[in-house]
Amino acid sequence: MTTEPRSSLEVERKYDVGDEASVPDWSLLPGVATVGAAEPRELDARYLDTADGRLAAALTALRRRTGGPDEGWHVKRSTPEGKLETHWPLDDADEAAPPDVPDAIVAELAEVAQPPFEVIARIRNSRTAFALLDAAGDLVAEFVDDRVTATDERSGRTSSWREWELELGPAAPASAAGVAELFAAADELVASAGGAPAASESKLGRALGR
């Protein structure tokens, strides 16, 4: 793998919702003028860790995901500001099952964990994504409606659920107060649809029962 990785900071809010919940009118959010067309995505991710959970202990997740505009390898680190994600695209040789972790990613994780890595969960997700745009057509946030099926590969336990996620984009409010106002408005819209802030902070955590 020779391609240079890309890094970004994810600032997002996740919500638990029922199977029959109706998607809110996101144009009611502060700064949102229009909502883009629905974009379906079929995602299939395998999450890896060491046998003794070194990555989880370091608040880090490693996955290989196919489908969607950012398919590839991802390393996610939890920070006080949000989740710092580093992404590498897939290459032609990257087809092993379970997947072999590329050397570049092994080096990226060297300070917190060493191989071997094993698959701990598989998460498949039928996602519908919507771009929330301001009056200039710039991305304030992306909203996704996820229907998830997960397998804990160590125990064999399977689970399924629906969740919503709102992730800030480049045209999101620049101030902490503006971000808080946007998320507060989103919380109200979700509550009106019968949803609530997610009980688990990540899909992987929920798949593993934590």
pLDDT in tens, 65-86: 999 999 999 999 999 989 999 9
Q: How many domains does the chain have?
A: 1
Residue 154 lies in a domain: yes
Does 187 fall in a domain? yes
Query: Domain range holding 146?
Result: 6-207
Asked, for residue 36, whether it belongs to a domain, the answer is yes
HSE-CB for 160 with a 13 A CA cutoff:
6
Question: What's the pLDDT at 92?
Answer: 62
Q: Record the tokens describing residue 80, joined without a space.
A: 């006080």
Q: 166: domain CATH number?
A: 2.40.320.10
Torsion angles phi and psi, residue 102, rounded to 5? -60, 155
Q: Is residue 1 part of a domain?
A: no
Q: What whole-number distance in Å separates Cα of residue 29 and Cα of residue 186?
A: 7
Q: Is the predicted pLDDT of residue 96 greater than 60, yes or no?
A: no
Residue range 123-151, pLDDT digits in tens: 999 999 999 999 999 999 999 999 999 99
So what's the pLDDT on residue 110?
97
In a domain, 118, yes or no: yes
Tell whether 24 is covered by a domain.
Answer: yes
